[in-house]
Amino acid sequence: MSEPRKKFYHSTVSRRDFMKMLGLGSVGMGATALGFSSKMPFADLDEMKSSEFSDRKLPFWVKEVDEPTVEINWDELEVFPGLQNTMFNPMTFGLEDAQKVNQIRVEKVRNDIINKTPGYSIQDHALNSASAYGWLDGKFEPPWTGVEHPPYNPEGWGHTTAYTTPDEIGVPRYEGTPDENSKMIRVADRIMGAADTGFVKLDERTKKLLYGNIVFEDVEEGYMDPEKHINVLPNKDLWVICSVIPQSLTMGSYTDRMSWAGANAYAYSRANIYSSRIKMFLRGLGYQQYGSATTGVGRAVGFGVMAGLAEYCRASIMVSPQFGTSFRTVLLTVTDLPLAVTKPIDAGITNFCKVCKKCGEECPSGAINMDTEPQWPNWAAGEKPNVSRGIKGWFLDTKKCLTQMFSGEPDCSRCQVVCPFNKYDSAVMHDLVRLSISNAPALNSMIRKLDDTFGYGVEKGSNLWDMDPRDIPLFGLDSSRS
Amino acid sequence: MRYISWTWFWYVVIGFLLGGGVVYLWSVLKQKAVKLVWYEWVLFILSGFFFIFLGQTFIASFQENESQAAWMSLVFMGIPILIMMVGAFRSLGPRLKKT
């Protein structure tokens, strides 16, 4: 008989521990709770995936809904042609302008280092470069058709299962029900670096969220055709694993802009490593896996919303009920492993954006739309190549945004820092506020005012380099929020 | 992660303050043989609840590096607690003096 499962895995006093301590009604018993073991009592992955912890448990204020809170006209929805038209690609506003902006950026970086501008020093830039390793150079980026790897040292001494497929070992591939498979992916995802996971089945609607360079053919396995600039998926049942890549709120909380840029870059780097890992995992189970880096498959916001990982918000990005805007992306992996789809959510976030507008007020470039209500796009075809029709939303002026980021403040990201959903998770009050936002929208305006009054989203003027290293969570990721 | 976190200490302080307050109130009421009427129960229980909530918010806000939120919560929740406590003791006062 194995030991009964323990409910506590951490020895620090978290908010939940604190509430339990109150429930016990005794300071002494609360202090005892500090000493609970952190042993993980699972014998294997099968046991872990069948545990109660592996189910997707949404926060209590979040409702699952049939349609997302952003209105989508699926008949009108335009497909993004490809990476060149994505929101943050400077090529969307022309090569000449992009080069001008980049030149200003180079000058800015040089001057900031020479003038020792706080937050833009040479060590800030160096930290950002180090964080970006594995992202911009593409070294960890898996190919479209998934990871291929020869078995580890097959001729000599070697790990018998490392990098092998079921075929190579001579065993049947893994089989499970969609529900079991989803739980398994969710467990593996947590270990491999995704904070939350949702699943979308590719159908006539959701295929429109893939980039336009992805086509379907009657083939057994997908492939890439560099000459035609297309990526091919097989015509069969396919699902998209949508994985939330968390981003350091700790680094973002320090006002040095390069610190926040480093948080961004580091999350992208982890996304690439995660992407290779999830593909190795699926390969090891005997299933197909497609996708590449964060820009490999399709619209991260679209799939993130459809998978119920977040809601669409005023700044044209996603807001998660648990992580606010402090996650870098929803990384997409296409697979033929049958999965149980997750539904969109309604936590009142899009509705809150209508009255909040804090991101728009704080945006130094004025790129964020300040209309109270989201609008159906009504511009001429091709006028705004990085925005597609079919979504009732607030659309970011990416040229203004990118110009600010490239020539003024690298990776500004103020819209993310100031978002009222972007909180640490220590104070119980935050959950009560989220509960109110989800169920009592009449109080949204007051909540926004209180967010200001309480000083949230205000830069504290502190310096990352002055921190006690022991106060920095490992990899910059605060465990209370994930 | 710090080698020693003192957060637990402040939660223990809250526990002692709350526990001490309850024991003090209970002993005074027993000594004076005074029984609480229903709205006094409501005021004391609500005050206790708000006190716990305030304490948690205050400590956690400092943990979150949000000192302004900590002090504002002291104002926004401390004042209602004070009003409820003053109301409860003003209601109790005449009976405590009589006995």
Query: What would the pLDDT profile of B14-47 be if each residue is shown by its tens digit?
Result: 999 999 999 999 999 999 888 899 999 999 999 9
Sign of CA dihedral A96, A97, A100, A106: negative
Q: CA B35, CA A434: separation in Å to the nearest integer?
A: 39
Mutate which: B2, B3, B11, B54, vs A, most A CBs within 10 A = B11
Token pair listed for A426: 């220590």
| Paired residues of A69 in beta bridges | none
Does the distance separating the beta carbons of B5 and A12 come in below 8 Å?
yes
Q: CA A365, CA A406: separation in Å to the nearest integer?
A: 12
Q: Closest partner residue to A454 among B52, B60, B72, by Cβ?
A: B72
Sign of CA dihedral A194, A199, A203, A205: negative
Provide the ipTM: 0.87
- The CA-based diameter of chain A, rounded to the nearest angstrom, is 70
pLDDT > 90 fraction of chain A, expressed in percent and rounded: 47
SS (H, E, C) chain A: CCCCCCCCCCCCCCHHHHHHHHHHCCHHHHHHHCCCCCCCCCCCHHHHHCCHHHCCCCCCCCEECCCCCCCECCCCCCCCCCHHHCCCCHHHHCHHHHHHHHHHHHHHHHHHHHHCCCCCCHHHHHHHHHHHCCCCCCCCCCCCECCCCCCCCCCCCCCCCCCCCHHHHCCCCCCCCHHHHHHHHHHHHHHHCCCEEEEEECCCCHHHHECCCEEEECCCCCEEECCCCEEEEECCCCEEEEEEEECCHHHHHCCCHHHHHHHHHHHHHHHHHHHHHHHHHHHHHCCCEEECCCCCCECHHHHHHHCCCCEECCCCCEEECCCECCEEEEEEEEECCCCCCCCCEECCHHHHHHHHCHHHHHCCCCCCCCCCCCECCCCCCCCCCCCCCCECECCCCHHHHHHHHHHCCCCCCHHHHHCCCCCCCCCHHHHHHHHHHHHCHHHHHHHHHHHHHCCCCCCCCCCHHHCCHHHCCHHHCCHHHC
| pLDDT score for A178 | 96
Q: Closest partner residue to A453 among B56, B67, B72, by Cβ?
A: B72
The residue that leads in pLDDT, B19 or A43, is B19
Torsion of CA A359, A361, A362, A363, to 10 degrees: 80
Q: Closest partner residue to B64 among A31, A424, A474, by Cβ?
A: A424
Nearest to B52 by CA among B91, B22, B30, B23: B22
User: Could you tell me the pLDDT band of residue A4, with boundaries at 50, 70 and 90?
Assistant: very low
Does the distance separating the beta carbons of A12 and B12 come in below 8 Å?
no
A454 touches chain B (CB under 8 A): yes
Three-state secondary-structure class, residue B87: helix
Q: Which residues between 319 and 348 in chain A have a beta carbon less than 8 angstroms from any beta carbon of chain B?
A: none
Q: Closest partner residue to A454 among B15, B16, B68, by Cβ?
A: B68
A45 touches chain B (CB under 8 A): no
Mean pLDDT taken over chain A: 83
Q: Which residues between 421 and 440 in chain A have a beta carbon less than 8 angstroms from any beta carbon of chain B?
A: 423-424, 426-429
Weakest mean pLDDT among A212-216, A339-343, A385-389: A385-389
Q: CA A227, CA A208: separation in Å to the nearest integer?
A: 23
Q: Closest partner residue to A429 among B19, B57, B65, by Cβ?
A: B57
User: Could you tell me the pLDDT band of residue A457, with boundaries at 50, 70 and 90?
Assistant: confident
Nearest to B40 by CA among B90, B99, B81: B90
Q: In B, which residues are within 8 Å of A24 by CB distance?
A: none
Query: What would the pLDDT profile of A207-262 be if each residue is shown by its tens digit?
Result: 999 998 999 999 999 999 989 989 999 999 999 999 999 998 888 776 667 888 88
| pLDDT score for A74 | 93
Name the helix (H) or strand (E) containing B37: none
pLDDT > 70 fraction of chain A, expressed in percent and rounded: 81
Query: What would the pLDDT profile of A68-92 be if each residue is shown by its tens digit?
Result: 999 999 998 888 876 666 667 777 7
Assess contact for A357 and A314: CB atoms under 8 A: yes
Write the CA distances from A372 to A313, A315, A352, integer angstroms: 12, 13, 10
| pLDDT score for A379 | 74
Q: How near does any CA of chain A get to the CA of B87, in Å? A: 25
Does the distance separating the beta carbons of A470 and B63 come in below 8 Å?
no
| pLDDT score for A315 | 92
Q: Span B95-99, mean pLDDT?
A: 76
Query: What would the pLDDT profile of B61-89 be if each residue is shown by its tens digit?
Result: 988 889 999 999 999 999 999 999 999 99
Q: How near does any CA of chain B get to the CA of A479, in Å? A: 11
Q: In A, which residues are within 8 Å of B19 by CB distance?
A: 27
Does the distance separating the beta carbons of A27 and B1 come in below 8 Å?
no
B12 touches chain A (CB under 8 A): yes
Q: In A, which residues are within 8 Å of B68 by CB distance?
A: 454-455, 458
Q: Closest partner residue to B7 among A13, A22, A455, by Cβ?
A: A13
